[in-house]
Amino acid sequence: MKPSFYITTPIFYVNGAPHIGHAYTSIAADVIARFKRLDGFDVLFLTGTDEHGQKVEAAARAAGLEPQEFTDRISSQFRQMADALEISYDDFIRTTEDRHKRACTALWRKLEAAGQIYLGHYDGFYAQRDEAFYDESDLTTGADGIKRAPSGAPVEWVREPSYFFKLSAFAEPLLALYEQNPDFIQPLGAKREVTSFVRSGLRDLSISRTSFSWGVPVPDAPDHVMYVWIDALTNYLTGAGYPGEAPRWPADIHLVGKEITRFHAVYWPAMLMAAGQPLPRRVFGHGWWTVEGEKMSKSLNNALAVEPLIAQFGLDALRFFLLREMPFGNDGDFSRKSLISRLNVELANDLGNLAQRTLSFIAKNAGGQVPAGGALSPADEAILAQATALPDQLRAAIDRLALHEALEDIWKLIRAGNGYIDHLAPWTLKKTDPARMLTVLAVLLDLLRTVAILLQPFMPGSMAKMLDQLGIPPDARDFAALGTPMITGAPLPPPAGVFPRYVEPDACA
Ligand code: MSP
């Protein structure tokens, strides 16, 4: 039986249109999911939309729509974006679905039965924009007299009856969890921040609201709806089939943006412990993108949609850029200039040319078929050994979620391949030693196959094209096929470039 692997993205709020920031999380999770599938895992990859809460209700009203109609509309935009990005999700969850309401109700009842919920009333400062409460000490008061949260969101004083979850009892168990499972929260900066937050003590968490109704009703308390974060976090259980017979829980990785790591690494495991459920294995908080040096914001109106970028540069150049440009876990800046440079240098030049040079040379000088190689020289053996070592290097990098390192490892081999072809010069061997020329070409083909198979998770469409050109049948493209001999004599289709250089439209004029 295949080992199983369950990965999730955050579910996205439907109060605004999707943009490149949301795309980033989804692409990263997609690369990991595809990598694991090609490596023989039975993968469950969950994404979706977070559709309840006061903020969504308010956005729907502002758009003059009923919340359900509004969320239907925006949720489908998120799904369209995922499809445009070729995100290979197995399930797209919407928190307005019945299966999810069932899961929330079941979890709530479990917590209640375990004595972890009580009715009280809440007074405090609430920021609707963040869907979060703040301590007075966290707030600043502006010249306008308005109190604001550290995020800049205005807060208001709220007092209402509320159910509470006994979060305060979980500080010690959480600290023990972080200590016994050093990889539970990553990267290290996030772990330190969360640990010190928990060390400073936890207060019970208000988990229901009576001031609006767009949410999952609390069982037997119809005036209350569940706090949107409780509802949202539960999506990961719903996606696993909870409360059915054999849910595919726990998740191996919750991939999230750094601003919501705390919800996933504190509230969520505490609730799961309280309900007697297994805990996710890892929460990874990645960094944030700015666009051309600016934070993306509604007021600047600079949130980048993905479709125009795909139309202009191609999907795989965009996927590649986002994962290559900044170390996974850091913050970075999205600029058109860097995207174009990576596309032209690394995709068109380094990889595209290596493939194109090799394949067109084979088409012209080796009968357009997979050449039979002869005895290997030390140079051949050295580069083939580098290729053979690559899958394990990538497994290690992907397991650490060092996606940028995985790409760098692949590019080291590509650069070595370019050095090899320049140095061994098959065009010269053609005249001096045609048998040796065939061996060099066979080595290059093998190398390209390794590169193309291993790059599939990052650039699925282009690598499918490249593998077609290398004559690799669809059933020989997973990682288990690496290292099997190429079929000599197999005909190769006429070569065609996979990554055309990008030339600015102005430059043509
Ligand atoms: N609905 C909650 C998550 C609930 S998960 C149980 C939420 N949604 S969100 O739509 O506001 O943001 C979701 C995610 O989008 C962030 O965690 C982050 O992964 C991603 N990003 C949004 N803007 C981003 C950038 N500018 N840069 C990188 N990622 C960003 O929070």
Average pLDDT over residues 398-405: 97
List domains and CATH numbers for the chain. 335-483 (1.10.730.10)
Confidence grade of residue 508 (pLDDT, cut at 50, 70, 90) = low
Average pLDDT over residues 106-110: 98
What are the φ/ψ torsions at residue 140 (nearest 5 degrees)?
Answer: -125, 150
**pLDDT at site 6:** 98
In ligand 1, the atom with minimum distance to the C-alpha of 259 is 17
Going from the Cα of 11 to the center of ligand 1, the distance in angstroms, rounded, reads 8
Residue of the CA atom closest to atom 10 of ligand 1: 12
Instruction: Give the integer Cα–Cα distance in Å for 204 and 163.
Output: 10
**pLDDT at site 191:** 97
Going from the Cα of 25 to the center of ligand 1, the distance in angstroms, rounded, reads 8
Residue of the CA atom closest to atom 5 of ligand 1: 10
pLDDT digits (tens, 9 = 90+) for 318-372: 999 999 999 999 999 999 999 999 999 999 999 999 999 999 999 999 999 999 9
Instruction: Give the integer Cα–Cα distance in Å for 239 and 222.
Output: 25
For the beta carbon of residue 141, count every other beta carbon within 10 angstroms. 9
**pLDDT at site 69:** 97
**Mean model confidence pLDDT for the chain:** 95
Instruction: Give the integer Cα–Cα distance in Å for 64 and 81.
Output: 24
Going from the Cα of 88 to the center of ligand 1, the distance in angstroms, rounded, reads 19
In ligand 1, the atom with minimum distance to the C-alpha of 255 is 19
pLDDT digits (tens, 9 = 90+) for 39-94: 999 999 999 999 999 889 989 999 999 999 999 999 999 999 999 999 999 999 99
Going from the Cα of 433 to the center of ligand 1, the distance in angstroms, rounded, reads 58
Q: Which amino acid is at 461?
A: G
Confidence grade of residue 158 (pLDDT, cut at 50, 70, 90) = confident
Residues 6+ apart with CB under 8 A from 33: 5, 7, 43, 45, 88, 89, 457
**β-bridge partners, 257:** 286
Top pLDDT among 300 and 130 is at: 130
Residue of the CA atom closest to atom 13 of ligand 1: 12
Going from the Cα of 483 to the center of ligand 1, the distance in angstroms, rounded, reads 40
In ligand 1, the atom with minimum distance to the C-alpha of 233 is 6
Task: Flag whether pLDDT at 506 surpasses 80.
Answer: no
In ligand 1, the atom with minimum distance to the C-alpha of 264 is 6
Going from the Cα of 233 to the center of ligand 1, the distance in angstroms, rounded, reads 13
**pLDDT at site 252:** 98
Instruction: Give the integer Cα–Cα distance in Å for 368 and 488.
Output: 11
Mutate which of 7, 8, 9, 25 for ligand 1 pocket (most atoms within 8 A of beta carbon):
25
pLDDT digits (tens, 9 = 90+) for 19-29: 999 999 999 99
**pLDDT at site 507:** 60
In ligand 1, the atom with minimum distance to the C-alpha of 25 is 19
Going from the Cα of 27 to the center of ligand 1, the distance in angstroms, rounded, reads 13
Which structure tokens are listed for 360?
Answer: 């067109």
Mutate which of 130, 151, 256 for ligand 1 pocket (most atoms within 8 A of beta carbon):
256
Average pLDDT over residues 258-273: 97
Q: What is the DSSP letter of 137?
A: G
Average pLDDT over residues 107-125: 95
Going from the Cα of 12 to the center of ligand 1, the distance in angstroms, rounded, reads 6
pLDDT digits (tens, 9 = 90+) for 433-455: 999 999 999 999 999 999 999 99
* Nearest alpha-carbon partner for 252 in 184, 170, 329, 191: 184
Burial class (CB in 10 A: 0-12, 13-18, 19+), 499: buried
Going from the Cα of 36 to the center of ligand 1, the distance in angstroms, rounded, reads 24
Task: Flag whether pLDDT at 386 surpasses 60.
Answer: yes
CB-defined site of ligand 1, < 6 Å: 10-13, 21-22, 24-25, 50, 232-233, 235, 256-257, 260, 288-289, 296
Residue of the CA atom closest to atom 20 of ligand 1: 22
Instruction: Give the integer Cα–Cα distance in Å for 408 and 430.
Output: 33
Task: Flag whether pLDDT at 414 surpasses 80.
Answer: yes
Task: Flag whether pLDDT at 284 surpasses 80.
Answer: yes
Which structure tokens are listed for 117?
Answer: 């919920």
Residue of the CA atom closest to atom 11 of ligand 1: 13
